[in-house]
Amino acid sequence: MSRAINIGVWAGVFGVFIIVLFGGQSVLAAGLICGLLAGLLAGARTEGETMQAGVRDGLISGAVAGVILIVSNILRNTFITTLVGQNLPSTGEVLSFGIAGAAISMVLGAALGAAHFLPGRRSSYATWAILGLVILIYPFLDYSIQLGWLGIVITGLIFILLALGLNIVVGYAGLLDLGYAAFFAIGAYTAAFLSSSYIGDQLNFANPRVSFWLVIFIAAAMAGLFGLILGAPTLPLRGDYLAIVTLGFGEIVPIVFRNLDTFGITIFGHEFIKTFNLTGGELGISPIDPPKLPGLNFADRSDQRPWYFLLVLIILFSIFLINRLRGSRLGRAWMAMREDELAASSMGINIVRTKLLAFAMGASFSGFGGAYFGAFVGGAFPSSFDFSVSVIVLCMVILGGLGNIPGVIVGGLIIELSDRLFLPQITLLLQSIAQHNANNPSLSGLQRFDPTLYRTGLFGLVLVLMMQLRPEGLLPNARRKLELHADQASPGEAAQSQTDLYDVETEAASS
């Protein structure tokens, strides 16, 4: 009970954060998030073990958050809305939207609490049905209350797709890849070459435009191929060395795309390929054709809902495939290699092939995501693929809980929303406060304060804190948790895993 209240308060605090930042009708979105938190953290984890207890805790938790939402919505509109120069809604609107937000929070909390205690498999079906409903409703809500999150959520989902792929490489196979953005770039440029008029324009011919539906797969294959090419020289490397080589690759690829603005092949004075601008240099290549599907309009930039739904389908399908891999001969080979490469090879696992496959699989996801990203933003620009992309995706994988898919998704959403939505919105809020209070010297100083500049610093801070406080990630998988907290679980085993490996030493690694 007190646990439910506690969670309600925390969810509410998060809701306050959203309401203060965005104002307007964002209290509805806050209600949705609070409801999810209340339902999943309080309702579904009640100690009562009965459906009544589940409903009760979910409801209480959702209600506590709801009350906080209503109050903070009133306060926000009383004190901040005019300060930042937004239009002040009527008192009736403030109240009714606040109550609606609270209602969403309570209903969701109770429903998820109830779903959890349905017998057998129906429990997870019902939970997923509710989550599916939220996923389905969200873009319509976003669109109708002009929340304006959708574009960022889509980018976040693309990054989640990347994180799912990187999770294969880092989480399952245990290969630390710091150059993952390279494949993202390769995917995007593949899409740019194949489904824009750019190449034809450069060389004065009407190039065929390959359909988006084909391009995403070609891009995935292309990236996979480069995954193999990168993977090959890293085969004998491990740990830190592998990280450094992949880091280099990740740096090289965007630079190559940047510098291929004068591309041509001349051998002994004979010009095989006339010098031309292959990649558009810093300006990149745009526009890339959007996908075409009867009944849906992907070209309308003001309504991105088709992009959202398509991506959700792609992600669900990816998770489905990854789960199949995980429980298979190949998934086990990856994990065995991560645990002990030498023992794995002695059990009949071809290390070369297994490593390359992990690299190629991860890279394909990244290439696929890159093509989607290119089509979504309508172009391929070298600045979208710098090192920070690799770092962010890696953070998603680690923050969520290495090797755990729900963790990767939650971690990904948190990072992407903080990075692209909350941080810029804080800046925007502060700047408009300063603008609308230019005559107040203590507030106008805010004009110069830009939190987005601290972005990388904040990332670093989050990573350090995570590693200190919760190294297993937000939603760790059981085995990871055991591994990292082995010292607490059973001191003997932790010590034993440190035993020397002199049994078979360096030579095998290099042979």
Q: Rule CB under 8 A: which residues touch another protein?
A: 321, 324-325, 327-330, 332-333, 335-336, 339-340, 342-351, 357, 479-480, 482-483, 486, 489-490, 493, 496-497, 499-504, 507-508, 511
**Cβ neighbours, 10 Å, residue 340:** 13
Q: How far is the CB of 32 from another protein (least distance, A)?
A: 34
The piece of 19-27, 173-181, 318-326, 499-507 that touches ligand ATP (CB under 6 A) is 499-507
Binding of ligand ATP by 47 (CB under 6 A): no
The piece of 68-76, 164-172, 237-245, 500-508 that touches ligand ATP (CB under 6 A) is 500-508
Could you give the 3-state DSSP secondary structure of residue 145?
coil
Q: How far is the CB of 368 from another protein (least distance, A)?
A: 14
Binding of ligand ATP by 500 (CB under 6 A): no
Binding of ligand ATP by 505 (CB under 6 A): yes
Cis before 287? omega within 30? yes
Q: How far is the CB of 235 from another protein (least distance, A)?
A: 12
Q: Which is nearer to another protein, 51 or 482 (CB)?
A: 482
Separation between Cα atoms, residue 402 and residue 307, nearest integer Å: 28
Q: Which is nearer to ligand ATP, 495 or 509 (CB)?
A: 509
Q: What is the four-CA torsion angle of 63, 65, 69, 71, rounded to 10 degrees?
A: 80
Q: How far is the CB of 324 from another protein (least distance, A)?
A: 6
Tokens 């593949």, residue located = 190
Residues 6+ apart with CB under 8 A from 109: 34, 35, 38, 39, 42, 43, 58, 59, 60, 61, 62, 63, 65
Separation between Cα atoms, residue 156 and residue 167, nearest integer Å: 16
The piece of 236-244, 452-460, 488-496, 503-511 that touches ligand ATP (CB under 6 A) is 503-511
Residues 6+ apart with CB under 8 A from 411: 163, 395, 396, 397, 398, 399, 400, 401, 473, 474, 475
Separation between Cα atoms, residue 403 and residue 325, nearest integer Å: 13
Query: Of residues 258-277, which lie at the interface with ligand ATP (CB under 6 A)?
Result: none
Q: Which does 347 bind (CB under 5 to 8 A by kind): ligand ATP, another protein, none?
A: another protein
For ligand ATP, how many residues bind (rule: CB under 6 A)?
3
Q: Which is nearer to another protein, 135 or 335 (CB)?
A: 335
Name the residue whose CB lies closest to ligand ATP: 505
CA 189 from chain center: how many Å?
21
Q: Which does 342 bind (CB under 5 to 8 A by kind): ligand ATP, another protein, none?
A: another protein
Task: Kindly report the length of the chain.
Answer: 511
Q: Which does 501 bind (CB under 5 to 8 A by kind): another protein, ligand ATP, none?
A: another protein
Q: Which is nearer to another protein, 159 or 359 (CB)?
A: 359
Separation between Cα atoms, residue 257 and residue 284, nearest integer Å: 8
**Cβ neighbours, 10 Å, residue 399:** 23
Binding of ligand ATP by 240 (CB under 6 A): no
What's the Cα-to-Cα distance from 465 to each of 325, 423, 424, 473, 505, rounded to whole Å?
A: 32, 19, 22, 11, 36
Q: Which is nearer to ligand ATP, 2 or 506 (CB)?
A: 506
CB 402 within 8 A of CB 250: no
Q: Which does 350 bind (CB under 5 to 8 A by kind): another protein, ligand ATP, none?
A: another protein
Binding of ligand ATP by 507 (CB under 6 A): yes
Q: Which is nearer to ligand ATP, 282 or 505 (CB)?
A: 505
The site for ligand ATP (CB under 6 A) is made up of 505-507
